Amino acid sequence: MTRVTYDLFPGFEDVYLEDSYVLGIAQTSVSLSFALEVVLRESHPLYHEPAPGLQYFTLKAMLDFPDPETVRWLERRFVPATDATGEVDYGTIDLFYRDGPRYRLAGEWGDVEIVSAPPRLKFLE
């Protein structure tokens, strides 16, 4: 099989997840969801210049894997970090690709393989 990186998925072309923060993870029998603070590339239609002193323009979003057939955690490390403003996060998404029917995500928060319908990224702001 050939790995397809997330930036080639529909709706993910203009985001940069390697510097986006995971704010929470929720798993139910019908979905796996990641609450994110997503870095937008300049080519994204919602992009604005970052506020003074910030490197990136970000928006809160939900990354959903609807109707997962399987969710297999290879590792879980839900250790929160607190930044200088007091906000809590669980690190970034360092790895996100599809290999055949499986999606794989990994970061400081853990490592998971998912078989589901295609993921969706929905902006909340």
pLDDT, one tens digit per residue, over 38-74 is 999 999 988 888 888 888 999 999 999 988 999 999 9
85 pLDDT more than 80: no
How many domains is the chain built from? Answer: 1
Task: Please state, in angstroms and as integers, the Cα–Cα distance from residue 90 to each residue in 16, 77, 102, following that order.
Answer: 16, 9, 23
Q: What's the predicted TM-score (pTM) here? A: 0.91
Domain enclosing residue 104, as ranges: 3-123
Encoded tokens for 86: 């007091």
Contact assessment for residue 9 and residue 23, using Cβ atoms and an 8 Å cutoff: no
| Mean per-residue pLDDT of the chain | 92
Q: Are strands 31-40 and 15-27 parallel, antiparallel or unpaired?
A: antiparallel
Task: Inform me whether the pLDDT recorded for 125 exceeds 70.
Answer: no
Contact 107, 92 (CB under 8 A): yes
